[in-house]
Structure 1
Amino acid sequence: AVVELVRELNPSGKVYIMEGSSVPTRFVMEKLNYTPEYIPGVDAILPIEEDSGAWKDYNSPGIVAVDLPDGLLHKKYYLNKKYKEADVLISLPCLKNHWHAAVTGAIKNVAIGATPGNIYGNSSTNPGRNSMVDHNSRRGDLHMWIHDFYKCRPVDFVIMDGLQGIQNGPTPCYEVSRTTRLSKDQMNMRLILAGRDAVAVDTVESLIMNWDPQSVKYLVFLNQSGLGNICPSAINVKGKKIDEIRKDFVGVRPPAGGHPIKKMTTPAFTYTGYEVQEGQAVFSLVPDECIVKMELCLNGDEPETVIITDFHRVAVDLSRLSPGENRVIIHAYDRFFNRVTKTFLVRTKSHVGQVKKDDLVVDQVREDVLSEVEG
């Protein structure tokens, strides 16, 4: 499906599918029918360890060295040449958690999966990258590696398969997760997540699974490096709201941190009245301190305004009101995207361009507490 979408935009460009598995990737691709017959429109389907050259060949024309002076773990990394120089790079992860990284999505998908196995693999016959970085380091070596490798070549777009999620991820590995069968850990979510900001997509993924994204070190590192947003105030979620679809994904707590959200309090705000000022109806509110963002919707579901500061005053542009009855909805979110929604009916008595306070009637008609509170 992704290849078809790409071909609609670019019928003549080269399209590669690239993957690096923990076992010989060609074997996995054959098992999963990664072939031109099943995926028409693709120019090549490439196991990264094969396309990158011979074992430990640092001079291979299939790889490029990237200097990273501000790397957290190393100052130089080796990337597949086609991967590094692609005009557009799309990450296609699955929705799941991870016993070492806490959350594995768009970023870890490439920061581990796109590492050339001929350079970083366990051996010439085993492309698994378990030994290239200490996965069990409490200081977070794995998270530093993920930050660094991703920074060498950030992705341009993400399409995450959340039709079936996996808890106790990533496989699940029964010795680690102590589960008994795959079917027990499949989470029927029926979701597709997509976006340009991979950090934001993985943040939303984390919250959908009820894991705290701010406890995932590599997400924090990438946010601090300016490579994406982790704060809900900077993330606009379209389609389904997070509180409508989130589920508890059970998983092992990683050595370097990362934990599920065990308790969430419901955000709240109180409406105390309004004033008409300079062509605006200004709602006076008393918000909880936990609120980090508000959305104002006028006669529809799409936000007219996103407010990230001064939640005490929310202004409605009177020129946007229709004569008669208007529905104003205010969503308030905390950092976990828990949400409280209040709906107001605003009735105008005169032409909207000449509205005074006496010409408006504002009534709160509904309050929906939509967050999921857990003990």
Structure 2
Amino acid sequence: MRKAKVSIIKTKQNPGYAEIYEAVKRALDLIGGIGDIIKSGDLVLINPSWVAPPVEREAGCITIPEVPRAIADIVRDLGARPVIAESSAVGVDTEKVIQTSGYKDLREMGYEVINLKKTPHVDIPTDNGKIFDTVECWELVQQADVIISVPKLKTHDQTEMTCAIKNLKGLLTDKWKRLEHQEGLFESVIDLLGAVKPKLAVVDAIVCQEGVGPVFGKPVEMDLIVAGKDLVAVDSTCAQLIGYDPSETLLTVNAAARGLGVMDPGQIEILGETLDRVKRRFLRAIEDDPVQVEDFQLIHGEVTCTGCRNTVMSALIDMRNAGQLEYLHGITVLTGGAPFPEGVPLENIVTVGKCMPKECRTQRHVKGCPPNNAYVVKAIIGDRAEVKRMYADDTLEKTDSEAGKLGS
């Protein structure tokens, strides 16, 4: 069996465009070039991460524009048409991300930089999907001959790590992003992977994030470009790069289980830098400055997965950042079928997640697998105050309304 190839290239600190271009080109050359997947005349969708502000390079939140620019230049040299396109997280103004980052400059230089939220959407069939038979994507996704995932490498408050596979969520409408959380994120993202069939990943691991990523993590300078044609192998390698065993990152596990790529490190050939030379253990979301409030309880059941564990923890950090910890007093949050504690009024119990048995769900239950942080905060606060969105431009109510309209 031929091994999947993944390349790792080290740059100098704070590299400029010329050095990033050379790093990307070398990374692609090491995996055999891209002439086998891109032909003259092809429409190539280059999908960076524009999840949300902050957009500054040193924050490590979004894919820096130099990386997709380098890919676009290489794609042009093959006679193909590169289009850099993405939709930000639910409730986030994608155009604002473009206009306040270097992507505005790319537009002015003549590169096609597209806000997918301003384009038509279509239904794309999944390949034997476990959650969905179709996914609601943007029309450009269907039109593209080749899709390239260009993520920012970060820890994630729900999925442990976000990289090449998770990055594809930007190809979904806001309505469908929310639906994936409700029905099961860890399998529905793999439905998406099987539907859109990306042929390449180039990872921006120059300045990454650890801790409570994907937006408010702590920046970590790694100065790396990672590339591969097997997205599962890329994510497996990047997991090891930041201190995870690939088996700890459920999206990678599920994708490999469906035969969508190689997760086993023994079946991956790493080219360029060695893992031992450049890897570093990242602070995990669950380890990052936990919130502690007197007379507040968080009780996880035996079946609670990392998705709900990290989501609740991240929601509490959102409340701390918003100055709303006072609303935790007297509240108990239960996940994964945890038993109801004695002496706590039922109206003070918030139950979270799809794994909470239906007969145990309280009136303040938060559905989802895992749910969005904001809905956990809303269940805790109730009508006592407005949920303060940490990075979305819209209120929670407007997000619900707009997401409901999309695709209708």
Residue pair 2:200, 2:230 contacting (<8 A) in 1 also? yes
Question: Which whole-Å CA distance do the structure 1 matches of 2:253 and 2:108 have between them?
Answer: 36
RMSD: 2.3
Give the counterpart letter for 2:173 in structure 1.
P
The aligned length equals 221
* Offset, 1:86: 0.9
* Offset, 1:36: 6.0
Residue pair 1:96, 1:169 contacting (<8 A) in 2 also? no
Which residue, 190, 198, 205 being the options, matches 1:155?
198
Residue 250 in 1 paired to residue 283 in 2?
A: yes
* Offset, 1:214: 1.0
TM-score (norm 1): 0.55
Question: Which whole-Å CA distance do the structure 2 matches of 1:69 and 1:191 have between them?
Answer: 33
Residue 95 in 1 paired to residue 163 in 2?
A: no
Question: Which whole-Å CA distance do the structure 2 matches of 1:20 and 1:65 have between them?
Answer: 16
Describe the superposition over 1:85-141 as per-residue Cα deviations: whole angstroms up to 9, x where unpaired: 31111111111110101110011111x211123x43xxxxxxxx4x32337x9xxx2
Residue pair 1:92, 1:158 contacting (<8 A) in 2 also? yes
Question: Which whole-Å CA distance do the structure 1 matches of 2:212 and 2:226 have between them?
Answer: 18
Question: Which whole-Å CA distance do the structure 1 matches of 2:270 and 2:201 have between them?
Answer: 14
Q: Structure 2 matches for 1:116-131, cutoff 5 A?
A: 116-117=173-174, 119-120=175-176, 129=177, 131=178
Aligned twin of 1:170? 213
Q: Secondary structure of the equivalent of 2:153?
A: strand
Residue pair 1:216, 1:257 contacting (<8 A) in 2 also? no
Q: Structure 2 matches for 1:181-330, cutoff 5 A?
A: 185-253=218-286, 256-257=305-306
Residue 132 in 1 paired to residue 184 in 2?
A: no
Unaligned runs of 5+ in 1: 53-62, 121-128, 174-181, 260-375
Q: Highest relative contact order (Cα 8 Å, sep 6+), 1 or 2?
A: 2
Which residue, 124, 149, 161 being the options, matches 1:66?
124
Residue 34 in 1 paired to residue 81 in 2?
A: no
Aligned twin of 1:331? none
Question: Which whole-Å CA distance do the structure 1 matches of 2:157 and 2:195 have between them?
Answer: 25
Give the counterpart letter for 1:2 in structure 2.
I
Which protein has the bigger helix share?
2
* Offset, 1:241: 0.8
* Offset, 1:69: 6.5
Question: Which whole-Å CA distance do the structure 2 matches of 1:172 and 1:16 have between them?
Answer: 25
Which protein has the bigger strand share?
1
Question: Which whole-Å CA distance do the structure 2 matches of 1:246 and 1:69 have between them?
Answer: 34
Residue pair 2:166, 2:251 contacting (<8 A) in 1 also? no
Relative to structure 1, the CA distance from residue 37 to residue 221 in structure 2 (aligned partners, 3 Å threshold; closer, same or farther) is closer
Question: Which whole-Å CA distance do the structure 1 matches of 2:161 and 2:106 have between them?
Answer: 33
* Offset, 1:64: 2.6
* Offset, 1:66: 2.4
Aligned twin of 1:47? 115
Question: Which whole-Å CA distance do the structure 2 matches of 1:169 and 1:154 have between them?
Answer: 29
Describe the superposition over 1:171-203 as per-residue Cα deviations: whole angstroms up to 9, x where unpaired: 443xxxxxxxx6xx2111111001111111111
Question: Which whole-Å CA distance do the structure 2 matches of 1:75 and 1:134 have between them?
Answer: 16
Aligned twin of 1:75? 133
* Offset, 1:145: 1.3
Give the counterpart letter for 2:200 in structure 1.
F
TM-score (norm 2): 0.50
Aligned twin of 1:85? 143
Larger Rg: 1
Relative to structure 1, the CA distance from residue 39 to residue 92 in structure 2 (aligned partners, 3 Å threshold; closer, same or farther) is farther
Question: Which whole-Å CA distance do the structure 2 matches of 1:24 and 1:194 have between them?
Answer: 29
Q: Secondary structure of the equivalent of 1:188?
A: strand
Question: Which whole-Å CA distance do the structure 2 matches of 1:251 and 1:14 have between them?
Answer: 38
* Offset, 1:206: 0.5
Q: Structure 1 vs Structure 2: percent identity of aligned residues?
A: 24
Q: Secondary structure of the equivalent of 2:181?
A: coil
* Offset, 1:31: 0.7
Residue 8 in 1 paired to residue 92 in 2?
A: no
Q: Secondary structure of the equivalent of 2:201?
A: strand
Question: Which whole-Å CA distance do the structure 1 matches of 2:108 and 2:259 have between them?
Answer: 35
Residue pair 1:7, 1:41 contacting (<8 A) in 2 also? no
Give the counterpart letter for 2:124 in structure 1.
V
Question: Which whole-Å CA distance do the structure 1 matches of 2:187 and 2:276 have between them?
Answer: 31
